[in-house]
A and B are shown apart, each in its own frame.
Chain A
Amino acid sequence: MSSTRNTAGLPPAEIDTFPKLLEYQRRTRPQRPAIREKDFGIWQTYSWGRVAEEIRDLAAGLFSLGVQRGDKVAIVGDNRPRLYWTMTAVQAIGAVPVPLYQDSVAEEMTYVLEHAEARFAVVEDQEQVDKLMEVMERCPRLEQIVYDESRGMRHYTQSFLHHFDAVQSEGRDYNKIHPDFYDEEIAKAKGDDPAIILYTSGTTGKPKGVILSFDNVIKTAANGVKLEQLTADEETMAYLPMAWVGDHIFSYGQSYVAGFCVACPESSATVMQDLRELGPTYFFAPPRIFENILTTVMIRMEDASWIKRRVFHYFMDLARRCGTRILDRKPVSASDRLLYVLGNLLVYGPLKNTLGFTRIRLAYTAGEAIGPDIFDFYRSIGVNLKQLYGSTEASVFIAIQPDGEIEADTVGKPAIDVEIKIADNGEVMFRSPGVFVEYFKNPEATAETKTPDGWVHTGDAGFFDDNGHLKIIDRAKDVGRLNDGGLFAPKYVENKLKFFPDIKEAVAFGHERDFCAALINIDLVAVGSWAERNNVAYGSYQELAAHPQVIETIKGHIEQVNRDLAADPRLASSQIRRFLVLHKELDADDGELTRTRKVRRSFIAERYLPLIDALYSGVDHAYIETEVTFEDGRKGMIKADLQIVDVETAPTAPAMKKAS
């Protein structure tokens, strides 16, 4: 550990809950920033000392409102300091916070509220209050709602609604009369008490409530801090849903353990600007976001003057050649090294500044496979982007790419204290301090997922490569067989397709079929920009998706993928023979994607059955009517006549003999 960085070391082990950690940070670094929020265009910063006070008042306020030990408190809203404070305040008085996805529709919210038996809810604003009031009838247990943003709430006179400030001021009074209340309350909790219930969005079936204990979250967060040598000087941004385990570990767990500062963006629309102003040192984003950032940069470069374009492309070529090697501290020729310094001055530095990555020390991506081009782009300009593999049941960390040993198509080596084994059926299993307690009120599912000796089924199929890096190919249950016995790994194929900027989503079919076929979603930004440059007129997504030239381009991409697949004898059978371009974007509101934007394969197979039948029947057109749900909940119909295209497959490479 270097002495210049603000390292006080990890908190001692007896500090085993978040309220206790908060007290520890209050004593250790009372003046250091704990959390920031952009309000009225200005960053407002709260120190650890201030946060501890706010939470003390809030905890007593919630207690006065009737929150009891063991109660569940729902938290709904964008990332806001006050909602993070609510988590600690709730934990301080022995209740359990249950964050919900803030963009879920009332229906989904009802299920979680009901299942979690939430008696209280703390929400961000009028929008969420309205949503909860709509479902209150169906959630008889829900008693009181606390809201943060008072805008638009003036005419709400219901006695079960309380403003955040009022609750806090009630708590302040309570604390004055009972000065020992808070300290006594937080002393009652231990490390193995439930800390939080996180509902997994679930690619199949109803969401499951994953109970994580304080030990789970704190030990895993601390291991992550240790592995990456995070310090109290880190700055990070909290912009992903609070209901997602990643945000809980990165923005809450690790911040409390290491004492670093978390910033909440002004609104979901300003994330990129706020990122640039803040310049975080530690950043997490799903591949999708890294991809969007890159696409935006590339599109803007297309519009630059030719000289700028030349300089940009020259240095990007250089970066591709030696950038990642420099980052990994591998040998690079002196002339390239010198040119890279110049490139840093002219291109990489300004580019990183535009993206908000000037100070970045560590960036993670996870959730889906990231395209090798995108991954290498960030690494080549000096952003230490790493993939990790994790799950809610593991409190995130299962495997992480170690510094200097990055292989783009693996997820790295087991994280600290994590054991990984591959089951006989190819499924990845792990055991770690982060292994969840149980699924709330669902012992069957718990028993299915977690063995008595603590191993957890991930449901993912994978293997270790020769260097001991874990490679994930697909969901274990999705790996299928074609009728001729060939292996069919749909996600592997889909990811290869999605690495083309023109393709936003792909859904492959082939299990118990004669060959592999795919439904394709074009990317409106990338294809739209192409259409603009080539004077292709279109009025809607549907029209663009059906354009013959677009279909031709997609066909080219698929042929490329087929050639790649053919190179690996094990996967050659998964080559795509027929495809069609869908007339609408797959959407979470229609149930086609999960809230974390993963494809729900079986649902799509059912919904688009006529299209899939057509793919396997030899016809060249398919007619479909689809019901769509708009953001406000109204429904409409889209009709389309879709073209089905045949693709050439590539000859399989001769199988390499392996010594057995």
Chain B
Amino acid sequence: MYGDKHIGDTLLKVDNITLAFGGVKALTDISFEIREHEILAIIGPNGAGKTSMLNVINGFYHPQQGRIMFRGAERKAMRPHLAAKQGIARTFQNVALFKGMSTLDNIMTGRVLKMKSNLFQQAIYWGANQREEIEHREVVEKIIDFLEIEAIRKTPVGRLPYGLQKRVELARALAMEPDLLLLDEPMAGMNVEEKEDMCRFILDVNDEFGTTIALIEHDMGVVMDISDRVVVLDYGRKLADGSPDEVRANQDVIDAYLGVSH
């Protein structure tokens, strides 16, 4: 059903990235690219540097070496909010929502970067600002409908089960209408049914909005099912890069996952 998807040119390219914290090398000489409209999975054992990689793309960490090309242009020193402005949204391994706020308000925060009016104008809520807010609300409502979370629209996020919190976080990232969506273990800690739902949502997002998605995931079944390409990291190095079938057949990957006798 997704076979006729058009995968475009390179959207983001990382070149020879090396990231170290003091003496610890988190990432060593990593290069790969993310192409437009694809779902790219980054996998690897614990401590392989997956989240560090996302943090580099996201502009949260600054690599000592290497460069990042986004839409063909080299990125200089990057801050997360600039990355967000450029159209990179993300979710976190440990859900990072405003627990006391409702689902709706949490998702609305995803629109903040797109709002033109300032705090004072918003407080008055009149004329153009009112219209603007209504427009944003409409976008948010479409996302709520898309992710089927109508029933929890007004529920404080802290009261929701974990699986739903993850979905709200995805909703907030989508509210930014990103070109590139980074998902850090979107399915961690979920049961089978929740995982299946989340898979379907990720595929639907990719399909409906053409959003490019890079995700970290441990569940190999999920990874092999939904991703177009897989990048494998181990101890901060890139082991393999290719289609799920290629990666599955790669001897280095098998060794890293199953261990080798020495």
> Which residues from chain A sit less than 8 Å from chain B, CB to CB?
38-42, 151-152, 154-155, 266-267, 269-270, 273, 631-632
- List of 3 A-B pairs having minimum Cβ-Cβ separation, nearest first: A269-B151, A40-B141, A270-B151
Q: Which residues of A contact B138 (CB under 8 A)?
A: 40
Q: Which of B4, B142, B150, B196 contacts A270 (CB 8 A)?
A: B150
B146 & A269 in contact (Cβ 8 Å cutoff) = no
Using known A-B contacts A40-B138, A40-B145, A631-B193, determine if residue A269 contacts B208 with beta carbons closer than 8 Å. no
Q: Which residues of B contact A155 (CB under 8 A)?
A: 1-2, 4, 207
Q: Which of A41, A269, A632 contacts B196 (CB 8 A)?
A: A632
Q: Which residues of A contact B142 (CB under 8 A)?
A: 40
Q: Which residues of A contact B1 (CB under 8 A)?
A: 155
**A631 vs B191: C-alpha distance when bound (angstroms):** 14
A154 & B145 in contact (Cβ 8 Å cutoff) = no
Does any Cβ of A come within 8 Å of B204's Cβ?
yes
**A266 vs B148: C-alpha distance when bound (angstroms):** 10
Does any Cβ of A come within 8 Å of B144's Cβ?
yes
B151 & A41 in contact (Cβ 8 Å cutoff) = no
**A269 vs B204: C-alpha distance when bound (angstroms):** 21
B208 & A266 in contact (Cβ 8 Å cutoff) = no
Q: Which residues of A contact B146 (CB under 8 A)?
A: 151
- Quick one: closest B residue to A152, CB to CB? B204
Does any Cβ of A come within 8 Å of B136's Cβ?
no
B150 smallest CB distance to A (angstroms): 5
Which residues of chain B in 133-161 are interfacial with respect to chain A, using CB atoms and an 8 Å cutoff? 138, 141-142, 144-146, 148, 150-151, 153-154
Q: Which of A41, A152, A273 contacts B144 (CB 8 A)?
A: A41
Q: Which residues of B contact A270 (CB under 8 A)?
A: 150-151
Which residues of chain B in 1-34 are interfacial with respect to chain A, using CB atoms and an 8 Å cutoff? 1-2, 4
A41 & B208 in contact (Cβ 8 Å cutoff) = no
Which of A38, A41, A42, A631 gathers the greatest number of chain B CB atoms within 10 Å? A41
Q: Which residues of B contact A631 (CB under 8 A)?
A: 193
**A39 vs B208: C-alpha distance when bound (angstroms):** 19
Q: Which residues of B contact A42 (CB under 8 A)?
A: 141
**A151 vs B193: C-alpha distance when bound (angstroms):** 21
Using known A-B contacts A40-B141, A631-B193, determine if residue A266 contacts B150 with beta carbons closer than 8 Å. yes
- Quick one: closest A residue to B3, CB to CB? A155
Q: Which residues of B contact A632 (CB under 8 A)?
A: 193, 196
**A154 vs B196: C-alpha distance when bound (angstroms):** 21
Chief secondary structure at chain A's binding surface = loop
- Quick one: closest B residue to A266, CB to CB? B150
Query: Using a Cβ cutoff of 8 Å, how many contacts connect chains A and B?
Result: 38
Q: Which residues of B contact A40 (CB under 8 A)?
A: 138, 141-142, 144-145
- Quick one: closest B residue to A41, CB to CB? B141
B151 & A273 in contact (Cβ 8 Å cutoff) = yes
**A266 vs B154: C-alpha distance when bound (angstroms):** 14
- 14 additional contacts, CB 8 Å, given A151-B208, A266-B151, A270-B150? A40-B138, A40-B141, A40-B144, A41-B141, A41-B144, A41-B150, A152-B207, A154-B208, A155-B4, A155-B207, A267-B148, A269-B150, A631-B193, A632-B193
A154 & B207 in contact (Cβ 8 Å cutoff) = yes
**A266 vs B2: C-alpha distance when bound (angstroms):** 29
How big is chain B's contact interface, by range? 10 to 19
B7 smallest CB distance to A (angstroms): 15
- Quick one: closest B residue to A157, CB to CB? B4
Chief secondary structure at chain B's binding surface = helix
Using known A-B contacts A267-B148, A631-B193, A632-B196, determine if residue A41 contacts B153 with beta carbons closer than 8 Å. yes
- Quick one: closest B residue to A269, CB to CB? B151
- Quick one: closest A residue to B193, CB to CB? A631
A103 smallest CB distance to B (angstroms): 15
Q: Which residues of B contact A41 (CB under 8 A)?
A: 141, 144, 150, 153
**A38 vs B145: C-alpha distance when bound (angstroms):** 11
Q: Which residues of A contact B4 (CB under 8 A)?
A: 155
**A38 vs B141: C-alpha distance when bound (angstroms):** 12
**A244 vs B145: C-alpha distance when bound (angstroms):** 27
Q: Which residues of B contact A269 (CB under 8 A)?
A: 150-151
| 29 residue pairs A–B, Cβ–Cβ below 8 Å | A38-B150, A40-B138, A40-B141, A40-B144, A40-B145, A41-B141, A41-B144, A41-B153, A151-B146, A151-B204, A151-B208, A152-B204, A152-B208, A154-B207, A155-B1, A155-B2, A155-B207, A266-B150, A266-B151, A267-B148, A267-B150, A267-B151, A269-B150, A270-B151, A273-B151, A273-B154, A631-B193, A632-B193, A632-B196
Which of B2, B145, B153, B193 gathers the greatest number of chain A CB atoms within 10 Å? B145
B21 smallest CB distance to A (angstroms): 40
Q: Which residues of B contact A152 (CB under 8 A)?
A: 204, 207-208
**A631 vs B194: C-alpha distance when bound (angstroms):** 12
Contact digits for B173-209, partner A, Cβ 8 Å, 1 yes 0 no: 0000000000000000000010010000000100110
Which residues of chain B in 21-57 are interfacial with respect to chain A, using CB atoms and an 8 Å cutoff? none
- Quick one: closest A residue to B148, CB to CB? A267
Q: Which residues of A contact B208 (CB under 8 A)?
A: 151-152, 154
- Quick one: closest B residue to A632, CB to CB? B196
- Quick one: closest A residue to B155, CB to CB? A273
A316 smallest CB distance to B (angstroms): 27
Q: Which residues of A contact B154 (CB under 8 A)?
A: 273
Which of A38, A40, A154, A267 gathers the greatest number of chain B CB atoms within 10 Å? A40
- Quick one: closest A residue to B104, CB to CB? A41
Which of B2, B142, B153 gathers the greatest number of chain A CB atoms within 10 Å? B153
- Quick one: closest B residue to A634, CB to CB? B192
- Quick one: closest A residue to B145, CB to CB? A40
- Quick one: closest A residue to B152, CB to CB? A269
Q: Which residues of A contact B196 (CB under 8 A)?
A: 632
Q: Which residues of B contact A266 (CB under 8 A)?
A: 150-151
- Quick one: closest A residue to B138, CB to CB? A40
**A142 vs B142: C-alpha distance when bound (angstroms):** 33
- Quick one: closest A residue to B204, CB to CB? A152
Q: Which residues of A contact B141 (CB under 8 A)?
A: 40-42
**A152 vs B148: C-alpha distance when bound (angstroms):** 13
Q: Which residues of B contact A38 (CB under 8 A)?
A: 150
- Quick one: closest B residue to A40, CB to CB? B141
- Quick one: closest A residue to B4, CB to CB? A155
A619 smallest CB distance to B (angstroms): 36
- Quick one: closest B residue to A272, CB to CB? B151
A271 smallest CB distance to B (angstroms): 9
**A300 vs B102: C-alpha distance when bound (angstroms):** 20
Q: Which residues of A contact B144 (CB under 8 A)?
A: 40-41
- Quick one: closest A residue to B203, CB to CB? A152
Q: Which residues of B contact A39 (CB under 8 A)?
A: 145
Q: Which residues of A contact B153 (CB under 8 A)?
A: 41
Q: Which residues of A contact B193 (CB under 8 A)?
A: 631-632
B176 smallest CB distance to A (angstroms): 19
B209 smallest CB distance to A (angstroms): 11
- Quick one: closest A residue to B151, CB to CB? A269
**A655 vs B32: C-alpha distance when bound (angstroms):** 88
- Quick one: closest A residue to B150, CB to CB? A266
- Quick one: closest B residue to A38, CB to CB? B150
Q: Which residues of A contact B151 (CB under 8 A)?
A: 266-267, 269-270, 273
**A18 vs B1: C-alpha distance when bound (angstroms):** 41
**A38 vs B144: C-alpha distance when bound (angstroms):** 13
- Quick one: closest B residue to A267, CB to CB? B150
B95 smallest CB distance to A (angstroms): 21
- Quick one: closest A residue to B141, CB to CB? A40
